[in-house]
Amino acid sequence: MENVLKYYEFSDFKKDSSEAFSNNDIAYTELNDTHFLIFEKEENQFNLYVSKYNSRSEIGKKKPLILELLVSNYDKSKPEHRLAIKRYLN
């Protein structure tokens, strides 16, 4: 998973205090000024979301304007999971 996070330039994980991610750790990468991909670390699994915020500074502090789950329990060995990221970042 570490390779996926580095390759797509996700931030370091930080604790969510917005309660949008159940106070789990999250990491994000920017799609544009207001849209982001977010990995939520929930125990031993990672969930991938696409989200919209007014700015990057709101991530983990305020609830997103839009939040859509793309992949539950992300597994980099599954092609459909890899494609979920590539659809937004390539």
pTM of the model: 0.94
Answer yes or no: are the C-beta atoms of 14 and 26 closer than 8 Å.
Answer: yes
pLDDT for 57 equals 96
Torsion angle of C-alpha atoms 47, 30, 54, 70, degrees rounded to 10: -30
In the structure, what pLDDT confidence band is assigned to residue 59 with cuts at 50, 70 and 90? very high
In the structure, what pLDDT confidence band is assigned to residue 24 with cuts at 50, 70 and 90? very high
In the structure, what pLDDT confidence band is assigned to residue 90 with cuts at 50, 70 and 90? confident
Answer yes or no: are the C-beta atoms of 18 and 6 closer than 8 Å.
Answer: no
Cα angle 55, 58, 60; round to 5 = 140
